[in-house]
Structure 1
Amino acid sequence: MTLLPIATRELRIAARSKTARHVRLWTTVVCIIVGAILLVTEGLGSSRDAGAMLFSILSCYAFGLCLLSGVFVTADALSEEKRNGTLGLLFLTNLRGYDVVVGKFVARGLNPLLGLLAILPVISLGLVMGGVAPGEFWRISLTLGNALFLSLAAGICVSAWSRESARASGTTLMLVVLLAVLPVLSAIPAMPSWLDFLQLSCSPTSAFIHGLASQYDSNPQPFWISILTTHAMAWSFLIAATFKIHTAWQDKKDSAKIPAIFTSRRRNATPSRVEGDPVRWLLQRGIGLRLILWVITAAWAFACVSYFVVVGGDVEWLTIHYINKGVGFALKLIFVGQTCSFFLEARRSGLLESVLCTPVTDEQIMNAQWFHLRRLFLGPGIVFLFPVLLGSLTGMSRMGGGNGVAYWLSTTTGIGMGGMFILSTVTDFLALGWVGLWLSLSMKKPAYAPGVTVLLVLVLPTLLVCIP
């Protein structure tokens, strides 16, 4: 028998497909355009400084994309097979669990790997221009590959336990964000030694930070500890998925796992809310994502409020502000996926044609979509935006001193910055919703709708208008 037959077959198919070549080409083109815009906007100045700036920004963007790859690529790899009822058919053959898991992992992870390999030569321009040591470039490259491996493995592991696409993607995102923000724990005063070791070793962000020359030259040990630990975690995710996949395809009764109080409440509450609106009923089947959103936003809000109220600080709020933008970007990605998911599944399964044959109007379908999105994201969004205003107000007030004109000017500036961020976030969500719904209905390949939506609404305006 051929070793890993599914992986071998998928690699042969990918070698002949145009998608792999397009991924390499367009990833390189986009990265070159981003690098050129950065050089022009920041000013060339000294070649050494420009190279260091280009390397830092592109490597940070690449690191974020590597961490999010598992959310969009592997989180639905096995759960999709469960929904289609084809996963159990694979085990009627002589395939083993690791054949299926590794095959899906290789098939889904090939394009992100090719994209990363296409980005690395552009990132290495900072090495050619000066300001970046060869060792630093190779350490960051190793960190990016390891972060991609960890994210993809986490996605395939969550997919083995999940059945719904939204829940699998949300759980993967929550896991990846949790691992990524562990270094924030270093801000806690008198942190226990075991907690310090946890944030140092189990976070890919720690490897990225300690891989920079400014950190690595003084103490290289944390970098290698983090690399080895996160790599071992990725393999443990794959092994866990291998053991779970044997029983994951079997149908189980939800009532055996959910307490009766919750099932009875759901049965009593759902008909009154969706009576006469079948589209709302269809959308409510994936409502479990709301709990994940509440966990992410509540944890982040608690961390921010604890930092400002308990720990305090002077200008460190800027770091929290930029991390907050990263968390907001992750929430926007979930929003895009949830916006496009209904029409993607409806077009694939033929459900959309069935709905359009009923008396349900177009307006009812769109209203049901927005009702579902508001129900999922409105509450967590308010919790997420509250620390933004608090952080801007507190940070700018401390920078302005205790009293006087400077204090009131700084406070007013903080309120303005927080208000601008809130307004920008709200308008981004509205634009993502409408563009995502339009593209998921109009594109010939609706699977590309989430990515194109993010590109049109978030990436291109930021690059063209150069808004930080």
Structure 2
Amino acid sequence: MLQGTFALFHRALCVDFRLTRTHLLRFLFAVLILFCLIVAHSSSRFMGAAGLALFSNIIYLNFVFILMAGLSFFASAITEEKEEQTIGLLLMAGVNPISLLLGKSLPRLVSALILLSIQFPFTLLAITLGGVTFSQVIATYATLSAFLIGLSNLGLVCSVVCARSRTASALVLISLVLYFLGPPLLGLCIDGAVSARWIASNSLIARGAMAFVENCYESSVLRQLNLILASGFSESAWGFQFWTNLIAGAVFFLLACLFFNRYALTEISTDPGRGLISKKRNRIFSPGRAWMQALAWKDFYFVNGGLGMALIKHACYGAALFSLCAYINFSSQSYSLREMGLTVFWTMLIVVLIEISLISSRVFHVEIQWKTLVSTAMLPQSMAQIAYAKLFGSMLAVIPAFFYLIIGGLIGIEEMTQDLGMVLAEPSFWLTCIEVIFFWHLTALLSTFIKWGALPLAFVLMWVGNMIFFMGMSMIAFGSGGSGPEVFEAIIILFTLFLSAGIVGSHFVINERLTFLASQ
């Protein structure tokens, strides 16, 4: 019985272990940690507790990597079978729902756990550099493993409920935001809105609400990591967060089993969904006549939601910014209009960066996924013109965020222009801008090669590249006895020029890749 139940799981593991890229990724991850150890060892004589600094960087990198995997790798476990219309075939072959869920989720979880276990022997070497104890290493990896198990099953249940991977990823993102920000905000609301008289008259309800908020806060993986990485940690590795995350993972798996027959067997269209686009003649939700740039019109309406989604974004961003400014004004004694403008500007700058990153991961992936690139390439346009038209149509969806970004910049322009000249004169500022643009191009390029996870993979590659670059600079500084600032500025300028050349070259590589895919 067990052999039949785990047949799909066994096959998926065998296929995964035979892939060269699987072992190459694990090997590169181990080499990266070994390189970090070498740099930390060389700099240990110049800084105290070098082992703790190294260990903290590695752990938070793993945390970000797990979050990215939850948004893409785990959230597409069942939805990819829905999109390929293969769930019915698997069930007809005698695969029961539990076997299907185990076969699709467990191999991904095991691969992620193996990636964590590979690092363990290397991170033990951080103890010799000072600032880290063996109990901290054990507790940290136990915390990350429990969170990984809970997140993988959260992605599984979202993948069962949702029809498409994009919707499942959005649901996982909303759940993570509620998980990390919900308890602190709820606690502040209870402290600020509940009066002492109400607490006295409803002591049982108030205590229950506060106990719930406290338990949610203690189950946070970020709180537990900060507690473990602090000096003097002496608690058990199997604390409240560990068991609650494991229990949450078990509950999510049971929910996936219960919801499978209700949601996973629902037929979905083999064509891309219309989303908010209405078939009726509606000025807001109907695409109307095609523009002169038909591809830009198509991507704006049928990929990014069109005018209706733009209005919804405009209203949601406005309400969120108003609530944020009202909360800061309520909790702060002095909150000027300029400070409000800076809050709006920096908040919407983050939103713009996230939106463009998401656009870069799907601008070409949609054509490849739905196999429409071949017919699109038959248009009397070059592949470069097609790609730029699609990019233009997708970028129109960022107009609502840009609108509030400009408003915030105009309100706080006096505060921003005080140090603007000094910021623009710094080579590191231009390096940051070039790195963001290079990250968008790298994400778009990777989306033409891999099926899912181009955005998290690009993030990891950029993080690794930056770590190698800055650690290389540190080794140069320590090896030469402390180089002057001119040397560092020259290195930053050269790296900026190198990334700029990479941006230009990525246009040609993406064009060649799309041309190759269109000819298949």
- Distance in 2, Cα, partners of 1:388 & 1:135: 48
> Is residue 6–residue 99 contact of structure 2 (8 Å, CA) maintained in 1?
yes
Deviation at 1:105, TM superposition (A): 0.5
**1:270 aligned to which of 257, 278, 287:** 287
- Distance in 1, Cα, partners of 2:377 & 2:254: 44
Query: When the two structures are superposed, what TM-score results if normalisation uses the length of structure 1?
Result: 0.74
How big is each residue's C-alpha offset from its partner over 1:355-396, in whole Å with a ceiling of 9 and x where there is no partner? 101234435422333234424445347768999999999xxx
Identity of aligned residues (%): 18
Counterpart position of 1:8: 10
What SS does the aligned partner of 1:151 have?
helix
Q: 1:228 to 1:432 in 2, by over 3 A?
A: same
> Is residue 158–residue 168 contact of structure 1 (8 Å, CA) maintained in 2?
yes
- Distance in 1, Cα, partners of 2:88 & 2:123: 43
Counterpart position of 1:209: 226
- Distance in 2, Cα, partners of 1:334 & 1:167: 15
Query: In the TM superposition, what are the counterparts of 1:232-251 in structure 2 within 5 Å?
Result: 232-246=247-261, 247-251=263-267
- Distance in 1, Cα, partners of 2:27 & 2:374: 36
Deviation at 1:158, TM superposition (A): 1.5
- Distance in 1, Cα, partners of 2:289 & 2:322: 34
Amino acid at match of 1:131: G
Q: 1:228 to 1:157 in 2, by over 3 A?
A: same
Amino acid at match of 1:21: H
Counterpart position of 1:87: 87
How big is each residue's C-alpha offset from its partner over 1:212-259, in whole Å with a ceiling of 9 and x where there is no partner? 455854x779x82222222222222222222222242322699xxx99
Query: In the TM superposition, what are the counterparts of 1:86-105 in structure 2 within 5 Å?
Result: 86-105=86-105
Amino acid at match of 2:264: A
> Is residue 71–residue 151 contact of structure 1 (8 Å, CA) maintained in 2?
no
Counterpart position of 1:399: none
Please, which runs of 5 or more residues in structure 1 have no aligned partner? 315-320, 394-407
- Distance in 2, Cα, partners of 1:224 & 1:38: 30
For the pair shown, the structure with the greater C-alpha radius of gyration is: 2
> Is residue 71–residue 173 contact of structure 1 (8 Å, CA) maintained in 2?
yes
- Distance in 2, Cα, partners of 1:377 & 1:369: 14
- Distance in 1, Cα, partners of 2:221 & 2:46: 31
How big is each residue's C-alpha offset from its partner over 1:316-351, in whole Å with a ceiling of 9 and x where there is no partner? xxxxx9xx9999889867754542334335335542
What SS does the aligned partner of 2:9 have?
helix
Structure 1 stretch displaced more, 377-386 or 161-170: 377-386
Deviation at 1:7, TM superposition (A): 0.9
- Distance in 1, Cα, partners of 2:333 & 2:443: 40
RMSD of the TM alignment (CA)? 4.9
What SS does the aligned partner of 1:269 have?
coil
> Is residue 124–residue 137 contact of structure 1 (8 Å, CA) maintained in 2?
yes
Larger helix fraction of residues: 1
Structure 1 stretch displaced more, 370-379 or 9-18: 370-379
- Distance in 2, Cα, partners of 1:390 & 1:135: 51
Amino acid at match of 2:82: K
Amino acid at match of 2:240: I
Counterpart position of 1:430: 437
**1:231 aligned to which of 246, 252, 259:** 246
Amino acid at match of 1:226: Q
Deviation at 1:104, TM superposition (A): 0.7
Structure 1 stretch displaced more, 431-440 or 97-106: 431-440
Counterpart position of 1:464: 469
Amino acid at match of 1:200: Y
How big is each residue's C-alpha offset from its partner over 1:404-449, in whole Å with a ceiling of 9 and x where there is no partner? xxxx9x99469977999998876555333333334545x5x57675
Query: When the two structures are superposed, what TM-score results if normalisation uses the length of structure 2?
Result: 0.67
- Distance in 1, Cα, partners of 2:187 & 2:422: 27
Counterpart position of 1:71: 71
Deviation at 1:106, TM superposition (A): 1.7
Alignment length (residue pairs): 437
